[in-house]
Structure 1
Amino acid sequence: MSLNILSKIQRSSPGEPEFYQAVEEVVQSLEPLFAKEKKYLEYNILERIVEPERAITFRVTWIDDQGRLQVNKGYRIQFSSTLGPYKGGLRFHPSVTSGTIKFLGFEQIFKNALTGLAIGGAKGGSDFDPKGKSNNEIMRFCQSFMTELYRHIGDTIDVPAGDIGVGGREIGYLYGQYKRLTGSYEGVLTGKKIAWGGSLARTEATGYGAVYFAENLLASRNDTLEDKVATVSGSGNVAIYTIKKLYELGAKPVTCSDSRGTIYHEAGIHLHTLQQLKEQGKNESLEKYAEIHPDAKYTPASQYPEGRHPVWSIPCQLAFPCATQNELNLEDAKALLNNGCILVAEGANMPSTPEAVHAFLEAKILYGPGKAANAGGVATSQLEMAQNASMIQWSFEEVDARLKGIMQNIYLTASQTAEEFGQPHNLVLGANIAGFRKVADAMIDQGAV
């Protein structure tokens, strides 16, 4: 069955390897479910769910500071509205292609279903690179992007959020243009700033959620985060707030990275320095971190071993890949296991290659796949939607408490489902089956849509 589905999407969607990878992982996990419950085959759920309900591609033209007209490509892939309005981030990065957006949107279906909240799955973005652009250039791009996107979104239709390259600044420009075009002040985007409809704890949510998920994983073996050494990749919001929450719960994070290099600080990452270099629209090189802290070691990307990421060669008990897809390969996984790593919790989307995931599952370490472990961001986005709908704002403590409860429920749902199918250590299987079953049952209830 998996071969038939993969062959079909490879014919209909050529040249999208990340999308094929995401589909293959889900389909393989679902085979025990199909053997147990034939209705999903009878209703042809799988062939329906791998095709997005709507795929929008558009040209984005904007004027740079030199007065030259620039052209980028924009995407919004609306995969599933079965459980609620489409929900998923916008990514602005030169690596963005239709395949990137499709893989992210497909993952979003099951991630969003696992939260237990009323949200469907979508993703969008552009190959625009905000790095090196002025605020005015970013504003003009965002306004042009929204001029194309606005007719396809709305607070009960599709509610985009931020992702790589799209933070509070970009959300502000996008939101302002949406208001200008529609005359509506509504919760059509999440990740807004606090003064105009944002949610407290939204910035922290994905990183905090990954650590809460790790806390639940460790508790299943009567263990805690206390006094454990952690390696973290990335240096954006997810990595920064993973590092912050690790410190709060007693662990010691010792690494961070960006596209230019990696920091290893045996004494523990200095959070304030990292935030000074990377937050509020800054993107300083981590080389400056090593200048401020001479006891830290900086490795430029040009010196990485071929096909490897140095973060995963540093001895640790806990690993948090928080950068991007397929950043952790089989050799990295072997290095982690050989160095005594007992837990991997994914803060990024699909950061481990299939071979790396197989190695973690074979070793039976605690492994939290991205669609479960990094669901805190989208969960808190839905909490922002709820606050917007009722025109109120919850306290940081209330949102954080809800986030912690959601992450615990995601862990329990995935682990109980994995146990139901005889593989209690395999949360990949548990998360995929639990998310798919919720969406599929609703699709059956709603008929041939």
Structure 2
Amino acid sequence: CSALNGTASMSPDPADQEETMEAIFESVLEHIPSPGMDPNGTLQFQPALLDYNDYVGRIGIGRIARGTIHANSMVSICRLDGSVKQFRITKLFGFHGLRRIEVESAGAGDIVAIAGLPDINVGETVCEIGKEEALPILRIDEPTLKMTFLTNTSPFAGQEGKHVTASKIDERLYKEIQRDVSLKVERVGTAEEWIVSGRGELHLSILLENMRREGFELQVSKPQVIIREIDGVDCEPYEYVQIEAPEDCVGSVIEAMGNRKGQLQNMVHNDAGQVRLIYDVPSRSLIGFMTDFLTMTKGYGILNHTFSEYRPMERGTLGSRTNGALVSMENGKATTYALMALEDRGVMFIEPGTPVYEGMLVGENNKDLDLAVNVVKTKQLTNNRSAGKDNTVVLKKPRQITLEYALEYIDEDELVEITPVSVRLRKKILDTNERKKYDKRKRNEQ
């Protein structure tokens, strides 16, 4: 079988390979049974996904469990709160491959999309009028992680993005919650700040990457787990974690998970030299762990995790960054001369010629404290010193800052600046002197 060449055969011999995928098609027909649903019964349709269209509004996507559904017909919907409401199906879509096509009717077993009810939700049941019979409600996982979205306030605001205003961001987030039932958006404080809650770092980073590609420019804070009060006790989400790693890397992984309050549930060795580890871990311990995990396992590790339950909160800081940051104290463009002098201080995030501003993170400090540095400093030219002598300087390759890495890396007092062109790290307080005063007040309060 070769998906690349579009061929499949029942024989493992390459010489007997057919030139079509007919073998797979015939196997599907032979071994996979039909849905076995009643096309003549009363209608039952339950949306499992949502979508949104500017012309028809919210769209419910799911499989018809029973009966037949028709476009432009009046139907009832059994709501999540037990009430029943009637509405007209204005549009009915079927699916042909990856394309969505408009149809007049569809029967039991078909996957369709319907429009006509502006607030249709996942788990509700569409039925014939007078014959309402609700299907079991689908359980939707509640958000476990939240981030603050803000309009871009950096000195580079508006230079690289197409959509930069609060109204544009608000409109985009509203459209997203119409199609993503697990996403929650809450407007707080000023009109330029939103708390967006999702089911994990990946969920929120996909939204940010999509917005970035659409031309949006914004800032986001460090991801935080959602704390709930259960029976008067603060509780945090826990994750079921499954790790597969090479045997020679297992020691480092176990040590790292132990430091993050992970409880080892099981460990299994296989013949391929891989070890499977099962852990029970607080969700906040996994924030920022993926990059370290890939480094520990040299890129061969696989980590999967899913929400388990809420439990009493672990006290203390889990999985926080151990190194400080190198923070620019000037505006301008980074120079080779300045970066060469700072190489021994840590790992740089920028290269010569990169535009920087005061308060922007330009590297990681070797020590655990933040350090304000001047990366735009130029050589003082004299009769005996010329700029040409810097041409032979070879600097270490800077660390590439991706969106996923940035979300994992930042601390509580930092933000990620996201534009269609760049991903930058910055301090919430850009002014160096104001930041020092704030840090001093914070230490005195402790």
TM-score with structure 2 setting the length:
0.23
More helix by share: 1
Larger relative contact order (CA 8 Å, sep ≥ 6) = 1
**Higher Cα Rg, which structure:** 2
More strand by share: 2
